[in-house]
Amino acid sequence: MMATLYLDHPGATLQYADRRLKILCPENAVESLPLGSLERLVLTSRCQLDTGLLLQLAQRGIALSVLSPGVRKVALFQAHTHGDARRRYSQVVCCHQSQVRRRLAALLVARKLRQQAALLRSVARECPAHARVCAQTAERLQACAGRLAGRPPRLARLRGLEGAAAAAFYRSYRLLFAPSLGFHGRNHRPPRDPVNAVLSLAFVLLTHEAAIALATAGLDSAIGFYHGMGYRRPALACDLAELFRQRVAHWVWQLFRDRTLRREHFQHTERTCLLGKAGKQAFYRAWERGKPQLRQRLQREAARWASQFSVLHRRFANDAED
C-alpha cells in the first residue's frame, strides 16, 4: 500500500540512494525507507532536498507538498500524470466563455450551499441546544441555493452571495464547539484559535488533493471558472475544493467532539495559534484514515469535470460550424 510521509524535522537533509529516501537529522541520526512505497511527501518544516531526490520524485510521479509554519505559504510539486492536451484545451475554451463560467459557477455555489445546509441539519441532531438556530440557518441556505436555479448572476454578485452565506454558516457552525476553544467565527492568515488552525490546515491539504485529482484527470488546476485566475493561484483546484469543504468542516468538528484534538494540542502566541507536535501527529493520523475516501470522491468529480468540458467544447465547435 502506497503511503504519505509527513516530515516535521527542522534541519533535516533528504537524499536519494539505493532506491531509498534517506533522512539525515541534525543530531546525526539517519532514517530511510523505500522510495517506491511513497505516493506523496509532505514537508512541514524547513529542510534540504538533494536534486537527485527531486528528479526521482518527478520520475516516479510522487507529489511533493511544502507547508510553511502556520500554513501561510504552500507549494505543490506534481509531475504531469495525463498526456491528453485536448482535455486542457477544452477546459481553457470553456473557462474563457463568460456565460459558461457563470452557469458552472452558479451550479457549484448552489451545491455548496445545499451541502452547508445538510451539514448543519446533521450536526444539530447531536447538539439539541443549538438545533433551532442551525435548522433556521439551514433553511436560509437551502432557499438561497434554490434561487440560483434560474438565470445565473454575474460572478461578482455570486461571490458576494456565497460570502454572505459562508458568514451565516459559520455563525451557526461556531456554536457546535466548546466555548473554551475561543472559536467565534472564521479567521485565518494567521488563525487565532484551535478550530481555525485546524480548518486552515485541512483546507490547504484538501486543495492540494484537489490539484492532484485534476492533474490525474488531465486538467490544469490554474484555470478555473469560479475563483479568479492569478499568479500561482490554483483556481480550478479551489473550485473543486469548494464542493468538499463542508465534508472537511464536519470532520474537523468530529475531531474536537471526540477529543482527538484538545486545547493542549495547540501552541498560542500573541497573534496566532498553531498545532503542537503531539497535535500534528494526531491530526495527520486522522487525515490519513479519511484520505482514501476523500481522494476517491475528488478523482470521480475531477473526471466528471473533464468530461463536461469536452462535451461543452464539442457543442461550441458544432455551433460554430452551423
Residues forming the annotated binding site? 162, 227, 242
Q: With beta carbons less than 8 A apart as the criterion, state whether 79 and 58 touch.
A: yes
Q: Give the DSSP letter string of 80-110.
A: -----HHHHHHHHHHHH-HHHHHHHHHHHHH
Question: CA-to-CA distance for 290 and 133, rounded, in angstroms?
Answer: 29
Question: CA-to-CA distance for 261 and 198, rounded, in angstroms?
Answer: 9
Tell me which H or E stretch contains 63.
Answer: strand 63-67
Long-range Cβ pairs for the range 14-22 (8 Å, 24+):
14/47, 14/48, 14/49, 14/50, 14/53, 15/50, 15/52, 15/53, 16/50, 16/52, 16/53, 16/55, 16/56, 21/53
Question: CA-to-CA distance for 152 and 106, rounded, in angstroms?
Answer: 6
- Would you give the DSSP letter of residue 148? T
Q: Which residue positions form the known binding site for Mn(2+)? A: 162, 227, 242
Q: With beta carbons less than 8 A apart as the criterion, state whether 174 and 162 touch.
A: no
Strand partners of residue 274: 267
Question: CA-to-CA distance for 17 and 36, rounded, in angstroms?
Answer: 12
The residue count of the chain comes to: 322
Please measure the distance between the N-terminal and C-terminal CA atoms of the chain and give it in whole angstroms: 52
